[in-house]
């Protein structure tokens, strides 16, 4: 098969990339190993989009991400945007949503944009010659097919395709660990009048007591309320693994369910409002925060986020703090940004070194471990995905045949196109 743009990985970053590229006129094939789109946002049941604004309330995310929320609202499946205090005591803004309905919203978006979805399909091989991705082999239910893309966008989270293509990746620094994975679980019914009446200090004390007794794997009682029900999705388990290691990932699924079951028993026993609840569902898979980060034309650092550095090729903004979940110990390493602090992500962080016709979006872009701890959230992943899709379509339009190079996309024109689409790019 030939296609202008091949997007591998249908998480929120990949779906936004595919939709943006198709809306800009490119032919787009979107490959996803599961039977639905969304990645961590649906299969991982993360259930809340965080950080739409600075602490002072200045909006930093719009564009396709905002359209996703409008469409969820139209289905009655998003709760109003609000600011809340987490059980760890940190202040945050969010939109809670129903993960099952997000699957429908993403279906609608790709169908309307004319993206060709390839579900139940995994990447099984890549041919890369002279720094160009020539072919990507896919294992589908009908057998193997070979796709020849003009531009590849790797949004597989683990950046599996570029890994197979031999692209360079960034190592962890001395003393850093990959952020742990988490098995989300749905618990209910919850008497939210009583649960929400708990003060942040009371919630924090309950979380710490659960961790001290060994019933909770981390000192947190994070819950996102599922809009249709009196259930919440809980983010409590903690699994220190490298999720690109097949054996470790398999063990983590089993251990994640064990931790979730034990945490549900603690909720029922100790947390006001949860006495009548039961564990209702596990996420389809453990949610994975971090695996491979590609080495790109620019490596985004925490220092640049904190400054913040002004990038001439800034293609998305963010305000989420540096939020590191350590593998050991129950607490977070959390560095809040200033009151009206926002930062930018440069286009060059989406371009893998040494490959001319590929881009990356989502949690695998070129950033240090600490910078990724901020920019990994779904709002920013969607904004970066939109930028990658737009850039890929622009590269195809400007294509000089075999010379196509995503580096030739004019950042000024890319930024202007994103702004015209309603996205916020800063600067």
Ligand X SMILES: Cc1cc2nc3c(=O)[nH]c(=O)nc-3n(C[C@H](O)[C@H](O)[C@H](O)COP(=O)(O)OP(=O)(O)OC[C@H]3O[C@@H](n4cnc5c(N)ncnc54)[C@H](O)[C@@H]3O)c2cc1C
Question: Nearer to ligand X by C-beta: 9 or 227?
Answer: 9
- Distances, alpha carbon 121 to alpha carbons 105, 141, 145, 239, 285, in Å: 20, 7, 10, 27, 17
Question: Nearer to ligand X by C-beta: 186 or 376?
Answer: 376
Q: How far is the CB of 42 from ligand X (least distance, A)?
A: 8
- Does 366 help bind ligand X (rule: CB under 6 A)? no
Residue 114's Cβ-count burial label (10 Å; 0-12, 13-18, 19+) is middle
Name which position in 18, 24, 30, 50 contacts ligand X (CB under 6 A): 50
Q: Which residues contact 387 (CB under 8 A, 6 or more apart)?
A: 20, 315, 316, 347, 350, 361, 414, 418, 423, 425
- Does 14 help bind ligand X (rule: CB under 6 A)? yes
Per the document, the length of the chain is 427
Question: Nearer to ligand X by C-beta: 379 or 408?
Answer: 379
Q: Which residues contact 138 (CB under 8 A, 6 or more apart)?
A: 31, 118, 121, 122, 123, 124, 144, 145, 146, 147
Question: Nearer to ligand X by C-beta: 210 or 287?
Answer: 287
Closest residue by Cα to residue 357 from 318, 328, 392: 392
Question: Nearer to ligand X by C-beta: 241 or 406?
Answer: 241
Question: Nearer to ligand X by C-beta: 41 or 337?
Answer: 41
Number of chain residues interacting with ligand X (CB under 6 A): 39
Site string for ligand X, 231-260 (x = CB under 6 A): ----x-------------------------
Question: Nearer to ligand X by C-beta: 156 or 390?
Answer: 156
Q: Which stretch binds ligand X (CB under 6 A): 286-294, 301-309, 395-403, 409-417?
A: 286-294
Name which position in 24, 28, 49, 256 contacts ligand X (CB under 6 A): 49
- Does 157 help bind ligand X (rule: CB under 6 A)? yes
Helix/strand/coil for 72: helix
Closest residue by Cα to residue 79 from 99, 54, 53: 99
Name which position in 6, 12, 217, 241 contacts ligand X (CB under 6 A): 12
Window 96 to 125, contacts with ligand X (CB under 6 A): 122-123
Question: Tell me, what DSSP letter sits at residue 120?
Answer: S
Q: What is the CA radius of gyration of the chain?
A: 21
Closest residue by Cα to residue 102 from 8, 228, 196: 228
Question: Nearer to ligand X by C-beta: 195 or 408?
Answer: 195
Helix/strand/coil for 176: coil
Name which position in 7, 29, 32, 106 contacts ligand X (CB under 6 A): 32
Name which position in 87, 349, 381, 417 contacts ligand X (CB under 6 A): 381
Q: How far is the CB of 333 from ligand X (least distance, A)?
A: 15
Window 126 to 155, contacts with ligand X (CB under 6 A): 155
Q: Which residues of 75-90 are buried (b: 16+ CB within 10 A; e: fewer)?
A: bebbbeeeeeebbbee
- Does 226 help bind ligand X (rule: CB under 6 A)? no
Name which position in 98, 377, 388, 406 contacts ligand X (CB under 6 A): 377
Question: DSSP for 311-341?
Answer: PTTEEEEE---EEE--SSSSS-EEE---TT-
Distance CA 421, CA 390 (A): 10
- Does 158 help bind ligand X (rule: CB under 6 A)? yes
Q: How far is the CB of 129 from ligand X (least distance, A)?
A: 21
Window 324 to 363, contacts with ligand X (CB under 6 A): 362-363
- Does 291 help bind ligand X (rule: CB under 6 A)? no
- Does 287 help bind ligand X (rule: CB under 6 A)? yes
Distance CA 273, CA 94 (A): 22
Distance CA 295, CA 276 (A): 49
- Enclosing H/E stretch for 122: strand 122-129
Question: DSSP for 2-34?
Answer: EEEEEEE--BHHHHHHHHHHHHTT--EEEE-SS
Name which position in 34, 187, 343, 347 contacts ligand X (CB under 6 A): 34
Question: Nearer to ligand X by C-beta: 267 or 288?
Answer: 288
Window 57 to 76, contacts with ligand X (CB under 6 A): none
Question: Nearer to ligand X by C-beta: 221 or 288?
Answer: 288
Q: Which residues bind ligand X (CB under 6 A)?
A: 8-14, 31-34, 39-41, 44, 46, 48-50, 122-123, 155-158, 160, 182, 184, 235, 287-289, 362-363, 376-379, 381
């Amino acid at each position: 098969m030939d296609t202008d743009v091949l997007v591998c990985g249908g998480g929120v970053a990949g779906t936004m990339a595919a939709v943006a590229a198709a809306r800009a006129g490119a032919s787009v094939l979107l490959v996803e190993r599961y039977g639905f789109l969304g990645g961590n946002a649906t299969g991982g049941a993360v259930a809340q989009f965080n950080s739409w604004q600075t602490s002072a309330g200045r909006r930093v995310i719009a564009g396709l991400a905002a359209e996703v929320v409008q469409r969820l609202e139209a289905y009655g499946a998003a709760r109003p945007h609000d600011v809340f205090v987490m059980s760890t005591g940190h202040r945050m803004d969010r939109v809670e949503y129903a993960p099952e309905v997000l699957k429908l919203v993403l279906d609608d978006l790709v169908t309307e944009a004319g993206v060709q979805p390839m579900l139940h399909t995994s990447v099984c091989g890549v041919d890369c010659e002279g720094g160009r991705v020539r072919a990507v082999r896919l294992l589908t239910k009908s057998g193997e097919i070979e796709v020849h893309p003009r531009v590849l966008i790797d949004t597989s989270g683990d950046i599996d395709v570029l890994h197979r293509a031999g692209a360079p990746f960034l190592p962890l620094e001395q003393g850093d660990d990959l952020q742990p994975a988490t098995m989300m679980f749905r618990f209910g019914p919850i008497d939210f009048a009583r649960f929400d009446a708990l003060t942040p200090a009371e919630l924090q004390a309950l979380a710490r007591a659960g961790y001290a007794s060994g019933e909770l794997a981390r000192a947190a009682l994070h819950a996102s309320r599922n809009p249709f029900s009196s259930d919440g999705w809980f983010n409590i388990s903690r699994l220190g693994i490298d999720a690109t290691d097949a054996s470790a990932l398999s063990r983590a699924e089993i251990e994640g369910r064990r931790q979730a079951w034990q945490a549900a028993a603690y909720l029922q026993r100790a947390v006001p409002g949860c006495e009548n609840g039961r564990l209702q569902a596990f996420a389809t898979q453990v949610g994975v925060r971090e695996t491979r980060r590609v080495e790109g034309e620019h490596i985004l650092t925490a220092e640049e986020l904190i400054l913040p550095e002004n990038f001439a090729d800034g293609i998305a903004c963010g305000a989420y703090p540096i939020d590191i979940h350590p593998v050991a110990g129950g607490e977070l390493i959390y560095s809040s940004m200033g009151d009206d602090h926002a930062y930018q992500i440069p286009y060059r962080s989406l371009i893998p070194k040494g490959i001319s016709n590929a881009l990356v979006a989502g949690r695998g872009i070129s950033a240090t471990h600490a910078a990724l701890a901020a920019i990994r959230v779904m709002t920013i992943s969607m904004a970066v995905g939109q930028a990658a899709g737009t850039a890929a379509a622009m590269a195809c339009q400007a294509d000089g045949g075999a010379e196509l190079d995503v580096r030739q996309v004019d950042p000024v024109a890319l930024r202007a196109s994103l702004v015209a689409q309603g996205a916020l790019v800063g600067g």
